[in-house]
Chain A
């Protein structure tokens, strides 16, 4: 399958937002009854192809549903298809998909952002009311910003990752897209909660649970006592918003101008803004890529062409394994597997991986300190406007640097939202709010005040 022979002749088909169109009706009633949801193609759907945007999984049909897909059905939502993405979530523009790039509905010459670009484009184009993406270093917030929609990256452990094809386990969370903050929060209400299939959500698991975890008042899961949609009330009077100077200075001028206008609007609504500092973020992008690539090199070892994937053919096991992966993986995936293997190899482990873990702990500590001075932090989501397709692909390093404002949040496992803050050169600019662990209500409230 390629972009050219995608079966769709309508607007979203032209955008190449969907890889598979298939309607799965949910239960008759429920909070999402009558709503359509597009699902990123790295989230398993029983009986429906789940390719991760990779030739490796072009023919893969999962025998089970991801927990979030079960919950969509329980909530009455109708699934309308699987959306295009950077291969295995590796990319920031949805150009590394084996099935062709997705176009940004705002300007079809530009990228929709990545890696959940298909999901963001489907929502922005009105082809789905809601969508699910996954955010490892910004992959929900980045395309939300570039397509002018709302995206939420939940606190690590709020949403089950069972059935999400793993790329970097310690960083990634499934998150919702919608055209309004309230709709995105309602989708979060439907998918959040503990899951016995995912130990990272099991706050109610064994005795002791996670009673000591910050932000968790007892041994229940934080989603059990919370209604996120109700927090989208725009009432920010008295809220303190911290602005990390390091994450504003690096952004383009026209992006900063929109961001500062939005901040001024918030101040008019009773918000107090304070400057905060996150000195560690200077090293966050390096740490993020070392950790993500290291985890990727380990996770993607499962693709050996035996249980699923491209058949490596005859020869001995090593030769067959290597051939399967040569044929099945695209350049960015190979690049990350190799760099991850290098970073974990005997002579370099202390130099790269161990240092990256130190940087991660430092980033967490910085966020804790900044969030002791403010209820939420605000930054531009992306430091740049959406680039044209083909502009950034040849220089991996420049692509990695685009994630400077989003990746620190994943390193710290915190919740964040991207909401449309305005436009520059007729292109959308996103504003990001970051909250304390399990502080989704605060970022949703702040985001809802921006869209009013």
Chain B
């Protein structure tokens, strides 16, 4: 699939999903993909996005539900202990989660 075809906007959009674009979205979503996955997804995304394009036909529909305040009072209450919160972490140190470097 390439983006070089001329045609109407929706067809061009659906065609525009190439493996590089899949990789770009995967970067945004923080998911590593190998080449095979990127190629397979590009093909499937074209089909799925083409199908989603039918949403263009949907009229604007007003939906103004009554909003209700569902917040509880902001009071201190029991939560997980530090030990429980850390129990599933792959790595922790001195009572903290230990993560990779941020930069």
Contacts and interface: CB of A to CB of B under 8 A. Distances in A.
Given A212-B66, A315-B101, A355-B58, 17 more contacts: A63-B84, A64-B84, A213-B66, A283-B55, A305-B90, A307-B89, A321-B30, A322-B26, A322-B30, A334-B41, A338-B22, A343-B52, A352-B55, A357-B63, A361-B63, A362-B59, A362-B61
B11 to A, nearest CB: 13
B100 A316 contact: yes
A245 B63 CA distance: 25
A362 B62 CA distance: 8
A312 B100 contact: yes
19 contacts: A63-B84, A199-B70, A208-B68, A208-B69, A282-B54, A283-B57, A290-B52, A306-B90, A306-B99, A307-B88, A310-B90, A317-B102, A320-B100, A322-B27, A334-B37, A334-B41, A351-B56, A397-B47, A397-B48
Given A61-B87, A361-B63, A202 B58 contact: no
Contacts, number: 169
A267 to B, nearest CB: 34
Interface in A328-356: 329, 331, 334-335, 337-339, 341-343, 345, 351-352, 355-356
B47 A338 contact: no
Contacts of A196: 72
Nearest to B68: A210
B23 to A, nearest CB: 10
Contacts of A323: 32
A396 B44 CA distance: 7
Nearest to A306: B99
Interface of A: 59-61, 63-64, 196, 199-200, 202, 205-206, 208-210, 212-213, 282-283, 286-287, 289-290, 297, 301, 304-323, 325-326, 329, 331, 334-335, 337-339, 341-343, 345, 351-352, 355-362, 364-365, 396-397, 400
Chain A contact residues, majority secondary structure: helix
A208 to B, nearest CB: 6
Contact of B80 (A64, A308, A360): A64
A212 B69 CA distance: 13
Contact of B26 (A212, A338, A343, A400): A338
A157 to B, nearest CB: 10
A311 B91 contact: yes
Contact of A59 (B37, B88, B91, B101): B88
Nearest to B60: A358
A400 B44 CA distance: 12
A358 B70 contact: no
Interface of B: 13, 22, 25-33, 37, 41, 44-45, 47-49, 51-52, 54-63, 66, 68-72, 80, 84-85, 87-91, 97-103
A371 to B, nearest CB: 17
A335 B48 CA distance: 10
A242 B11 CA distance: 38
A-B pairs with lowest CB-CB distance, top 8: A361-B63, A311-B90, A326-B32, A320-B100, A63-B84, A199-B70, A308-B88, A355-B55
Contact of A358 (B58, B89, B99, B101): B58
A286 B90 contact: no
B32 A342 contact: no
A304 B30 CA distance: 9
Contact of A352 (B52, B84, B88): B52
A316 B100 CA distance: 6
B85 A329 contact: no
A345 B45 CA distance: 15
Contacts of B72: 196, 199, 202, 205
Contact of A206 (B63, B68, B103): B68
